[in-house]
Structure 1
């Protein structure tokens, strides 16, 4: 009984605070935009992607929590849909139940456009009557796409089509394809400025800092989706670097080198990726392979040579004094 009373109290507080915040509709951020909430049926990962002609759209539109769901709140944005929607879904409400509860209490609902997706893949979306045309949404299997203030009525159907056509891609890449399709179909009538991508896992994160699998924002850019796609590529490269480091710790140099190699292919101009690969080789008695890589790095930037001098003291470079001198003499 105490549990039911507590949950009821929490719900009352959420809805009361939501109604107060909703009364500020004309003071809220004017983030008209297009977005997608989606789930990968094979991995259970959930994502929200967005682009807008508004500064830092990712700071107010896109919300997600591992093991719970994702939210996109746009048009005249009421940011409370994000945290309050996630709280309701974490308590067992479906996407539709959570969205319906919040919309019912929102005095500015006619100006809102919102989409929820829960951990089971249930989706719900709402487009207020006063959202600026072209404005509508489509709910599909494990996804919802929505847009307002678009150049034309082709944008949202193009998003749905792109999501359906790219089932072979990882969820993050699939979402980016959807956003690109929206832009190519006409996009925001005002143009473009910022974009964001959030991916969360199917199961709750053990630690709060592990909650977002992908969390990328382009706050102000002439071509935000081009930049978002580049950042996703860099993100993948660093994921491979992390896998390589873990393999080194486990003593599996072949796996480590394969991971480092994959990282370099994704981000070939990055000196740091080459550098730590070379250090790993040197630490594992493969100095002959490390030397040409280090020479290439030192020739481009002398600071890496200076950094190398400092590594032995921290235990990050375990070669002999003779070998260290050989490296520094490159």
Structure 2
């Protein structure tokens, strides 16, 4: 009962994903990201499969071998929905036979949408279309895709949680935002993103060059 979207930006070399579901705390259970790779384990989720996928990717740098490692490690793979998007190459995915319709994966030029228990068969194509047509930062393109999926049918039960994660250079996350419980999690995710976006560069600088970084009060607009 989840829909997710992984995307890459060939201009900046950044990669990331967004996800929403009708249960709480989806950001704790679905999706993981490493340099050049996003992996998904959803439907009847086993978050341990993310570590399997990331390890396989770091060892092999091969998407097919990464997906194979996740499938081989999965207990009752017929309940699992798995996916991988790398910075280069074709997205790959697996949807088990017990996953609830509408379900499956849909590939774009630079994106991969996965979903199960969806409200219509248009959800995944619309997510990819909106992502591929959107402009701006990767974070906003991912959100555009998620809103398009919601508008096209969402999933069959009301959404409760969402997450957005984008990995930048030097191993630092440019966005790592979660809404763990909400009646409108994608809207609330957007609120958090708009608050975070102008502050992200300052917090990145605090990691790379703390002597040159502004204070927290300056970043947050509080009196010194």
| Fold similarity call, TM over 0.5 | yes
Conserved 8 A contact 1:89-1:118: no
Aligned partner of 1:96 among 49, 59, 64: 64
Cα distance per residue 1:165-191 (max 9 Å; x no partner): 11x211011001111111111101011
Q: Could you say which residue in structure 1 is the equivalent of 2:178?
A: 217
Aligned partner of 1:160 among 114, 125, 128: 128
SS in 2 for 1:186: coil
For residues 191 and 87 of structure 1, the distance between their equivalents in structure 2, rounded to whole angstroms, comes to 34
TM-score, length-scaled by structure 1: 0.61
Cα distance per residue 1:44-72 (max 9 Å; x no partner): 1110110000110010102112x241112
Conserved 8 A contact 1:47-1:200: yes
**Is residue 128 from structure 1 mapped to residue 96 from structure 2 by the alignment?**
yes
SS in 1 for 2:155: coil
Conserved 8 A contact 1:197-1:216: yes
For residues 113 and 243 of structure 1, the distance between their equivalents in structure 2, rounded to whole angstroms, comes to 33
Conserved 8 A contact 1:69-1:86: yes
Q: Which runs of 5+ in 2 are unaligned?
A: none
Q: Which runs of 4+ in 1 moved over 2 A?
A: 104-107, 118-122, 239-247
> What is the root-mean-square deviation of aligned Cα atoms in Å?
2.5
CA shift, 1:157, in A, is 1.1
Judge which range, 156-165 or 100-109, deviates more. Answer: 100-109
Judge which range, 50-59 or 104-113, deviates more. Answer: 104-113
SS in 2 for 1:55: coil
Within-5 A mapping of 1:140-289: 140-166=108-134, 168-201=135-168, 203=169, 205=171, 210=172, 212-239=173-200, 242=203, 272-273=220-221, 275-276=223-224
For residues 73 and 102 of structure 1, the distance between their equivalents in structure 2, rounded to whole angstroms, comes to 9
**Structure number with higher strand proportion:** 2
Provide closer, same or farther for how the CA distance between residues 153 and 160 of structure 1 changes in structure 2, counting only shifts above 3 A: same
Q: Could you say which residue in structure 2 is the equivalent of 1:80?
A: 48
CA shift, 1:129, in A, is 1.3
Cα distance per residue 1:269-295 (max 9 Å; x no partner): xxx41535xxxxxxxxxxxxxxxxxxx
* Equivalences, count: 219
For residues 129 and 114 of structure 1, the distance between their equivalents in structure 2, rounded to whole angstroms, comes to 12
**Structure number with higher helix proportion:** 1
